[in-house]
Homo-oligomer: A and B are copies of this chain.
Amino acid sequence: MRADGAPANRTVVFRGFSDRLDMPNSLKIITDHRSEKIAQCAGDQRAEACWYFPKTREQFRLLGTIATVTNQESSEEGGGRERVTTWQNLSDGAQLQFAWPQPGDRRAEDENAFTPEPPNPKAPPETFVLLYLIVKQVDWLNLRGDPQDRIIYHQNADGWEEQSVNP
């Protein structure tokens, strides 16, 4: 959500599911600490990812909240370790972007700004932030069904409940 309350929608890369036992079903996303995402998540943690698979014609709507793991977090429980391993699994090119000039600022005139010294491939820089999308509800739509199938999965205190609904 933007500061003025307008929704913000963007494409992100799915970096796999969290390995943490206390974060089941959580999707990993990465971002730069200087990006707009950070302020937008700080104001309102609620988010929904929409994922459409063209080959199977399935849509997943994943509703939940975003948790952030910044360089302030070093404990294993807090995700500090998973932040490091996620960093180490990035390509050189993806790592380099975290040393680029301030995202969203007027374009840097010196193109050398985009070929900085490569960051340490083992230890994430301050700008590197790990995000979790902690999913609480899934709305699954299968366009291949005839008629289409749609099931809403909702997490409550006892686990997941599911409800087949009209598409």
Contact = CB atoms under 8 A, between A and B. Distances in A.
A45 to B, nearest CB: 10
Interface stretch (A16-24, A76-84, A102-110): A102-110
A7 interface: yes
User: How many copies of this kind of chain does the complex include?
Assistant: 2
Contacts of A52: 11
Contact of A44 (B5, B8, B167): B5
Interface in A100-150: 100-108, 111, 114, 147, 150
B59 A7 contact: no
Contacts of A100: 147, 166-167
Interface of A: 1, 5-11, 44, 46-50, 52, 59, 61, 63, 97, 100-108, 111, 114, 147, 150, 163-167
The 4 nearest A-B residue pairs measured at CB: A114-B147, A9-B48, A107-B164, A9-B50
Given A7-B46, A108-B166, 15 more contacts: A5-B44, A6-B63, A7-B7, A8-B48, A9-B9, A9-B61, A10-B50, A10-B59, A103-B166, A103-B167, A104-B165, A105-B166, A106-B166, A107-B164, A107-B165
